[in-house]
Amino acid sequence: MNKHIKSLALLQRLIAFDTTSYKSNIELINQIQQLLEQYQIDVQLNFNQDKTKANLFASTGPVGEAGILLSGHSDVVPVAGQQWDTPAFSAVIKQDRVYGRGTADMKGFLACAIHAMLDASQCQLKRPLQLCISYDEEIGCIGVRGILQHLSETLKPPLVCVIGEPTMMQMALAHKGKTVYQARCCGEEGHSALAPRFVNAIHVAGQLIQSLQQTQQYIALQGQQDHGYDIPYSTIHVGKISGGMALNIVPNQCIVDYEIRNLAQDSSAEIQHLIFDQISEDYQSHIEINQVNEYPGLKTSPTVQAVEFIQQLLPSETTQANISFGTEGGLFQNAMNCPVIVCGPGDIAVAHKPNEYVSLDQLQQCEIFLEKLVATITA
């Protein structure tokens, strides 16, 4: 017999919406809004420009007090090209696990968090319980930025923000940030027999790549270290390069895609300056660098009160660790000026893959955690 998981029926409804990032999430958001409003919970939506996607913010309890903020994203990664044993957009329960796209990342948490909101709405609260659901997280934490400015202007900084990304209900206090760059290295085309007369775009790219490696070495030896990570320093990586048309033409263009994954205490902009400064001046003017995307790192001090507060609500064996993947946590930390903790049901190791699942046990652990959390703010 299955454990009684009260969020399960809602999770099944959420999984049925195909909210792959490039699609609309409006139907899912409308369902959640209706459900919350049935319980007289105040809901605000924040739309993208063409109104095909929305962030949702909900609050229950006294207005104007510092609250507890639960946060998750509504979008999921594509299933195209993946071999699933069950239909990806239908929650299938097999042997104490719920299978389906987004069960771990992160509709399992959303279902538990929405239930916690409904339960909290039936209680006399001393402080508000708040819920933020974003869109377009999976493509670079894009959507949440649209609502964070508004929340930062209208809300008191929460006591704590819990991001429910899958950590197997362990506490994560830090992850690296990421900045993605595309460099367009320019040269001039010419007959290769006269090659020295022309600037070779691939040679320019070669200097850039050399500088990426040199800067990485420098950071590894001289930069800040956090031994909570497998790689304890900020990393630099070139992942794609394309240039040149034919061997007998001096290439006029070479595109280099690279990234910086920075410790929260390092600035990716400063690292980018180090990279650029090492390129010879005559080549610098041949490189045009575009920042494609960025999200900040997260670093919550283990000594802040919020960490102890959350730790008490979790099983005593709960660990505090850094995570290797990014979240919206750094954006919340910067915008809301509050401690941020990542803690949610399911395993990141099964996310983004076929046959993604969350165990019923994880869902139950999350429900128990959120019940205890609500109890702390109940009068």
Q: Which is nearer to Zn ion, 106 or 341 (CB)?
A: 106
Structure tokens given for 125: 């609260």
# residues contacting Zn ion (CB under 5 A): 3
- Minimum gap (Å) between residue 79 Cβ and Zn ion: 15
Q: Which is nearer to Zn ion, 91 or 106 (CB)?
A: 106
Question: Can you tell me the distance from the alpha carbon of 178 to that of 264, in angstroms, rounded to the nearest whole number?
Answer: 10
Dihedral over Cα of 110, 101, 79, 327: its sign: positive
Binding to Zn ion by residue 328, rule CB under 5 A?
Answer: no
Binding to Zn ion by residue 105, rule CB under 5 A?
Answer: yes
Nearest to Zn ion by Cβ — which residue? 105
- Minimum gap (Å) between residue 166 Cβ and Zn ion: 7
Count CA atoms within 13 Å of residue 233 on its CB side: 15
- Specify the stretch interacting with Zn ion by CB under 5 A; choose among 8-16, 35-43, 162-170, 233-241: 162-170
CA dihedral 368→371→373→374, nearest 10 degrees, is: 170
Q: Which is nearer to Zn ion, 306 or 342 (CB)?
A: 342
* Total H helices, total E strands in the chain: 10, 18
Structure tokens given for 328: 């919206």
Residues in a beta bridge with 182? 257, 290
Q: Which is nearer to Zn ion, 77 or 186 (CB)?
A: 77
- The closest of 124, 133, 139, 173 to 151, measured between CA atoms, is 133
Structure tokens given for 40: 């007289």
- Specify the stretch interacting with Zn ion by CB under 5 A; choose among 149-157, 160-168, 213-221, 257-265: 160-168
Binding to Zn ion by residue 136, rule CB under 5 A?
Answer: no
Site string for Zn ion, 187-206 (x = CB under 5 A): --------------------
Site string for Zn ion, 14-53 (x = CB under 5 A): ----------------------------------------
Q: Which is nearer to Zn ion, 73 or 127 (CB)?
A: 73
Count CA atoms within 13 Å of residue 364 on its CB side: 9
3-state SS, 68-82, equals EEEEEECCECCCCCC
Which positions lie near Zn ion, rule CB under 5 A?
105-106, 165
